[in-house]
Amino acid sequence: MCFTSSPLPHANLSQVEFYFSAHNLSTDEHLFFQIDGPDNRTVPIKHIHSFKRMKRFQPYSAVVKALKDSEQLDVVEDGNFRGAGNEGVKRKIPLEIPGWDREKDPDATLEKLFDMLNQHSKNEMGRSIYAKGFGEEHNGQIELEDYFKAFGAVMVRKRRFPDTGEWKGSVFVEFDSEESQAAFLALDPKPKFHGLELEVMDKKAYSKMKCDQKGIIPNWERDNSARRRGGRGQRGGNRGGNRGGRGGRRNDSRSRSPRGSGDEDRDDWKDRRNKFQNKGRWNNRDRDGKGHNKGRRDDRDRDGDRGEKDHGLNRDDGGVPGVADTRKRKVEDGEEKENGSKKAKVEISEDA
């Protein structure tokens, strides 16, 4: 198979269609927020054209012209997108979020919806494979995508070391159907990439194998068990309120309702603060109703005088405070921390 790095006819169209595909949006949080998830907001084509991989497609007008031939996307040229250079683009069919019911959960945040889509994609094992053995010379992202696209692939994700970001030399590939995935795995002889025979296997089998080696349960198996129990422990549920599926990854949580919960949360916070302060004032009063301001400052005694407590100071016979030798205490504390239970917790995670 011949590879080329130069743009092919309609390659600009294919690239933008990929950006707006459900496969990409399940991992592309930035673009997911740009389109407001299932609300399908129009995105300026200028913004899409600024993406690193789009810069090879010039001029800008050629990208707009190609998008007008798309069967998946609409070019918007009215309202705020009127005039040359201001065009926008949107999906013809709004994005669907598996497992989300708009009527039952109309105020779901974008964070929550993205996590639901992302988790569904991760657990979509039936269409995905694991592959390695590409060598070191030909391993560019576009080159890998072009290779697998001939077999029906819709997404190729390079696996990287989380601490360095370097490529592990292997990929996860998602196909357009389970049939395409099965056909690729059944190839005989095995597929070759620039003359190198690839080591390929079903993604679910790979995930199970790695988790068994580490003695942990795969995420997809835990999620399936949670659903069988009635949803306990599922990520992206309502347990976190409107914080999103991972406990509110973003501080700028965007509610999809006309009026977000920000004002209500702010007022509720003020009420809680006032109740807490009033409760504290009441508890600081004695039975006669006189307040002693207990707890206002830790270095005051019951009469409100400062400095009567020694706080660990040694005094001589004349009552003059001296500095105690704490070197031994520091050494003992250090040994206690080193030999005690406060050890770094090692987290074993699924190989991704």
pLDDT in tens, 147-163: 999 999 988 888 989 89
Nearest Cα neighbor of 95 from 75, 120, 76 is: 120
Burial 241-266 (b: 16+ CB within 10 A, else e): ebbbbbebeeeebeebeeeeeeeeee
The pLDDT mean for the chain works out to 74
DSSP letter at 321 equals E
pLDDT bucket at 218, cuts 50 / 70 / 90: confident
Show me where the domains of the chain are located: 11-96, 119-221
Q: Are 131 and 200 in contact (CB under 8 A)?
A: yes
Q: Are 267 and 132 in contact (CB under 8 A)?
A: no
Please say whether the dihedral angle defined by the alpha carbons of residues 97, 98, 103 and 109, taken in this order, is positive or negative.
Answer: negative
Q: How far is 253 from 250, CA to CA, in rounded Å?
A: 6
pLDDT in tens, 245-267: 333 344 444 545 443 444 444 45
pLDDT bucket at 3, cuts 50 / 70 / 90: very low
With tokens 């089998």, the residue in question is 205
Q: Are 49 and 3 in contact (CB under 8 A)?
A: no
Nearest Cα neighbor of 4 from 142, 159, 178 is: 142
**Residue 195 pLDDT > 80, yes or no?**
yes
CA 103 to chain centre: 25
% the chain with pLDDT above 90: 40
**Alpha-helix residue ranges (DSSP H) falling in the chain:** 11-19, 22-25, 29-34, 45-49, 60-67, 110-122, 141-149, 178-185, 203-214, 219-228, 262-283, 327-339
pTM of the model: 0.54
What CATH class is the domain 11-96? mainly alpha
Q: How far is 1 from 9, CA to CA, in rounded Å?
A: 18
pLDDT in tens, 95-146: 999 899 999 999 999 999 999 998 888 777 889 999 999 988 767 888 898 8
Q: Are 134 and 196 in contact (CB under 8 A)?
A: yes
**CATH entry 3.30.70.330 includes domain 119-221:** yes
**Residue 37 pLDDT > 50, yes or no?**
yes
Q: How far is 158 from 68, CA to CA, in rounded Å?
A: 31
Q: How far is 9 from 23, CA to CA, in rounded Å?
A: 23
Tell me which of 17-31, 198-212, 238-252, 271-285 is least confident. 238-252
CA distances from 48 to 20, 57, 304 (A): 10, 11, 65
pLDDT in tens, 79-95: 999 999 999 999 999 99
